[in-house]
Chains A and B, each alone.
Chain A
Amino acid sequence: MTTRNALELKDVKKNFGRAEIIRGVDLDIHEHERHVIIGPNGAGKSTLFNLISGRLKVSKGSIKLFGANIHNLPAHRVNRLGLSRSFQVTNLFQNMTVIQNLRCSLLWSEGHKYSFWKSVLKQSPVTERSHELMEQLNLIKHAETPASLLTYAEQRALEIGCTIASGAQVILLDEPTAGMNRTEANDVIQLIQRMTGENTLIVVEHDLNVVFELADRISVLVYGEIIATGTPEDIRNNAKVQEAYLGTEVH
């Protein structure tokens, strides 16, 4: 079985004024794979995510999602083509409850668009799906809790849930375990593995334990360039990577 590519990046460049942050990235991400991007601080990982998800415009090059060009499309159009993302800083509808957050995330993918002639609460597929998601996220007892009152780990879980709820096949997670202790991070990793079964997953991550547990393949981004892509084993043994990145942190 040949796997098709979910995402194809060709010579993607991004500069802010004269500062070149992304300096020609070529990257293929296969469908259904779990791909982790690592790299030192300031390597441009978050910028790369912002380029893929349509939050920033690319300066040069192309990004294809299932063969369709998505670079320089606005973020909501990229989302409708099947890509969603979470953020490094928790990014929810803070004033809404857990179930309201999930309902909002489901509305577009359930085809309700901008309709103003039907009641949200009467759409039973939306209600059922949000209950399903809450159960998977272990948030059912917090259904009516405002998102801003959840613990940090719960907020991250809800954000992952919202990201998945939008019906995307390709999911970008920006440091899902940032600021968590070991147990919390493990819970989140299990949650991600449970929730994203068939989806293509691209994760930016600092925590190397997480990286090697989660990844099918790893790409290493250093100063705006990908210096290596391969299986965890390849990356572990890659001399260039050890020199540039791992060598300083892994014994």
Chain B
Amino acid sequence: MANNTQAGSPSLLKFWPWVVIPIVALILPQIFSSGHSINLLSHMGVAIIFALSYNMLLGNTGLLSFGHAVYYGLGAYVAMHVLRSINDAGGEGLPIELLPLVGASAGLGFGIIFGSVSTRKAGVIFAMITLGLGALVHSSSLMFADFFGGEAGLFGNRTQINSLFGIDYASSVSVYYLVVVWTLIAAILIYLLRKTPLGWMANAVRDNPERAQFVGYNPTMVRFIQFALSATFAGLAGGLFVITDEIVNDEVVGQLQSGAVLLGTYIGGIGYFIGPIVGASLVTILESSLSTYTEAWVLYFGLLFISIVMFAPMGLVGVVHQQYLAWKAGGWRGNGYIRIYLLAAALIGIFGLICVIELSYHYFRSWDPSAPFVLMGVTVDATSFLPWLASFCIAIIGFGLMIFHAKPILARLTDAKSDGGNA
């Protein structure tokens, strides 16, 4: 697992992502200017803060939480109540730009309360307690309708509230820019936290809690403080969500939300700071766009997660990073074509698999399986034999080439190279 305790001298070159990413974030709405895309981009920002806060637990401290949405959701609810009371007071009071701080303090408060119970032990016990707390809060959100607004949820109005800078937040673009600013602030703070004694000892406690005790640190205390800080940022994300969506319901504290942040963080790569950023962005895009193309999107989501866990536990960023290191070390020399061939074969296999899944979904789920439907631009009949045969063939050929042809060649080439290096 990569460490966040690198001691290398900081060079200006290392800071380029901090310059490039905000610029890209500011330009994006010029390119994707539809209301839907702007909302999507705002949601990505919220998801990024949430996932970064989650990785403070999973990646940095080694705490697997199944209930992180509790702090996100409670932060959102408290921020929503504050927004509503400001709405009722005719917009006087806290400016909208600072509303996420309300969510953050709520996250901190609940993080302290629930963290003091759950961080006494790490590992399975911690995971089980967070699962229990998640279920507890979610069920109370349906029981206490006064605070949680029942199944309908609570609404607020982001336009009937003062702005620090006199900005009108009726347009979703200005909301997006607010999200960008908060995401940047949160990302910088979370990044800097990793450099502090607490951040270092969080790593230390993850790797070897016993050794940490014998240099004077109480592992429980390290976990607790890290947990409370992580909950603070989750609450911040929740507060921001109130501004982007102007509605909260029981879903924000739900188990699905907790699962989504775990999935996104893990898919991106828990060992890298940008892992959760990539993962959360990807998951947000997939959730919103894939679902318009196919009914089976949840299945694809699950398959992606399973394949990451099984074949690339370092996440997508980890895969890219490893390939980059191999390329830099000259490991690609003479086998670059094979790598591309491997990738192409895998993509063909995945294409075939998608065809099979889509056919099955249509065949088993549609009330009239024989109705013509469009598969990859071709109109086919799911009850006839041909599309099934073609799909299976493509899948088998693709994966077959990958596993039985491309992979052995690559293995032989790289083995030959490393043997040569050892000799």
Contact = CB atoms under 8 A, between A and B. Distances in A.
Contact of A116 (B1, B210, B214, B225): B225
B222 A93 contact: no
Given A114-B198, A144-B7, 14 more contacts: A75-B210, A79-B216, A85-B214, A91-B211, A93-B211, A96-B3, A107-B216, A108-B215, A109-B216, A112-B197, A114-B222, A116-B229, A117-B196, A119-B196
B214 A84 contact: yes
A1 to B, nearest CB: 30
A96 B216 contact: no
A118 B196 contact: yes
A95 B213 contact: no
B3 A100 contact: yes
Nearest to A159: B211
A79 B221 contact: no
Nearest to A79: B216
Contacts of A118: 196-197
Contact of A75 (B200, B204, B207, B213): B213
A155 interface: no
Contacts of A108: 215-217
Interface residues of A, number: 43
A113 B217 CA distance: 8
Given A75-B210, A93-B207, A104-B204, A116 B193 contact: yes
Given A114-B225, A119-B195, A120-B200, A96 B207 contact: yes
B203 A96 contact: yes
Contacts of B216: 76, 79-80, 107-109, 166-167
Nearest to B189: A116
12 contacts: A74-B213, A84-B214, A91-B208, A95-B1, A104-B5, A104-B201, A104-B212, A107-B217, A108-B215, A109-B215, A117-B196, A120-B195
B196 A120 contact: yes
A108 B217 CA distance: 7
B196 A97 contact: no
A70 to B, nearest CB: 13
A209 interface: no
A106 B213 CA distance: 12
B104 to A, nearest CB: 15
A54 B218 CA distance: 13
Contact of B7 (A55, A91, A97): A97
A120 B229 CA distance: 18
| Interface magnitude class on chain B | 20 to 34
Contact of A121 (B193, B195, B203): B195
Interface in B313-350: none
Contacts of A167: 216
A105 B211 CA distance: 9
Nearest to A86: B214
B59 interface: no
A104 B215 contact: yes
Given A114-B197, A165-B215, A92 B221 contact: no
Contacts of A165: 215
Contact of B5 (A92, A96, A114, A116): A96
A166 B201 CA distance: 14
Contacts of A106: 215
Given A93-B203, A95-B207, A96-B3, A107 B197 contact: yes
Nearest to A75: B213
B235 interface: no
Contact of B215 (A74, A115, A119, A162): A162
B215 A91 contact: no
Contacts of B213: 54, 74-76, 79
B214 A166 contact: yes
B156 interface: no
B59 to A, nearest CB: 12
Contact of B218 (A74, A103, A109): A74
B63 to A, nearest CB: 16
Interface in A31-64: 53-55
Interface in B190-240: 192-193, 195-201, 203-204, 207-208, 210-219, 221-222, 225, 229
A76 B208 contact: no
Contacts of B207: 93-96
Contacts of B212: 76, 104
Given A96-B5, A113-B197, A120-B200, A107 B211 contact: no
The list of the 10 closest CB pairs from A to B, nearest first, reads: A108-B216, A75-B213, A116-B198, A112-B197, A76-B213, A105-B215, A166-B215, A116-B196, A76-B218, A119-B195
A202 interface: no
Residue from the set B3, B207, B211 with the largest chain A CB neighbour count within 10 Å: B211
Nearest to A113: B197
Contacts of A117: 196
Contacts of B197: 107, 112-116, 118, 120
Interface in B152-206: 192-193, 195-201, 203-204
Nearest to B196: A116
Contacts of A94: 207-208
Interface string A164-200: 0111000000000000000000000000000000000
Nearest to A163: B214
B198 to A, nearest CB: 4
A53 to B, nearest CB: 7
A103 B215 contact: no
Contacts of A119: 192, 195-196
A170 B3 CA distance: 31
Interface string A193-226: 0000000000000000000000000000000000
Nearest to B195: A119
